[in-house]
Each structure stands twice: as structure tokens, then as C-alpha cells.
Amino acid sequence: MHGMLEKDDIIRGLRKLDAKALKAGVVVDLSIYGGAALALAFNIRHATRDVDAVVHSAPDFLRIAAAEVAAEEGWPADWLNDGVKGFTSSKEAMQLMEHFEASPSGGLRIEVPTPEYLFAMKCMAMRPEGLEGSHDISDIKALADHAGIQDVKTALSLVEAFYPSSLIPPKVRFGVEEIMEQVMRGREQE
């Protein structure tokens, strides 16, 4: 792997995890966020460095299975990680992902954020100062289009629907305003 997981790589890795869980008779509930969700559920991104996920069941099984998949594929050990935990909201809005719905006898059941929730998450996690390789701003713009967000007020209201206003830093508010102004200018030019 050259540092990036493409959509097909992610699907292959998840199918391997699904097969391992089914063989072991374990149901693994997993929420996938970030670039992987953008690639898998919304076709907004083609590749990502890792799969940001929160495990809701069978974490010990998944840790071992993910390490096996990493070894089989030659991927980094942290290809599947829970670094996103600090950005999830207690008001999250998720949807089941087709083709990964598990069966009572085992497998992987995956959910991804709605486009509105992922938009709010991306805004809260935004790295506007330009972390190398960061896609936050382009992801936010694409999600604004995907979710049909028309203006700054709606965008900020959406972030506040998932995160308490007191926890939204000024840099996020300013960033959202600037990004949405760019989105609206871009729409006017079309």
C-alpha cells in the first residue's frame, strides 16, 4: 500500500472482516466515519489514509481480525482505528450501509453518518490551517452540496443540531462561514 486506501481496498478489508466474523459466529457492530464513509456511502472521496471507526460490539475480536487483515494486505496496523471518537456527537444520526448488515449467526454490521451529521462532524474536526494531506475543506464543500445546504445560516444551524453551541469554537464558525461563502460563489458561477 502506498499510504492510501482506495474504496476497493476498504471494501475488500471490510469483506474480510465480515467473513472472519461470520466464521467465528460473532456479530460486529461498527460505525464508520471520515474519508472511508465519504468513499463508501457518498462516493465523494476515492481514497483515505485509514478507516475511522467506533466499535459497538466484539472489540477484542475486531482488534485481532483487523490485525490479521492488515498483515494479509500489507497495510499499517492502524488501518482501522478509533481516532474519531473525540468528534462523535451524542446526537449522532446514522444509517445502515447496504451489503454489511450481518446475519444473526455473525458478520459485520456497518453504519455510516447521514450526510448532514458527517457535514457537522467534518466542520468540528476541520483543520483549516492546512494539515498535510487534509481534505477537510473539500470534504465540507462536497457534503454541503450532497446534503443540499444552501447558506451559512443553515450550515451553522446544522452543526448546532449535533453539537452544543457552547462547544463550537469560533474558528469552526469562521471556517464554516468562509467555506459556505466559497460554495455559494461557486454555485453562482455555474
pLDDT of residue 7: 93
Residue 76: CA atoms inside 13 Å, Cβ hemisphere, count? 12
What residue ranges do the domains of the chain occupy?
A: 5-113, 116-189
Burial class (CB in 10 A: 0-12, 13-18, 19+), 30: buried
Per-residue pLDDT of the chain (190 residues; tens, 9 = 90+): 457 899 999 999 999 999 999 999 999 999 999 999 999 999 898 889 999 999 999 999 999 999 999 999 999 999 999 989 888 999 988 988 766 766 767 789 999 999 999 999 999 988 755 544 468 889 999 999 999 999 999 999 999 999 999 999 999 999 999 999 999 988 788 7
Q: How far is CA 144 from the centre of its chain?
A: 15
pLDDT of residue 1: 47
- Is residue 143 within 8 Å of 44, Cβ to Cβ? yes
Distance CA 163, CA 88 (A): 9
3-state class (DSSP) for residue 68: helix
Residue 171: CA atoms inside 13 Å, Cβ hemisphere, count? 6
pLDDT of residue 188: 83
pLDDT of residue 128: 59
pLDDT of residue 129: 58
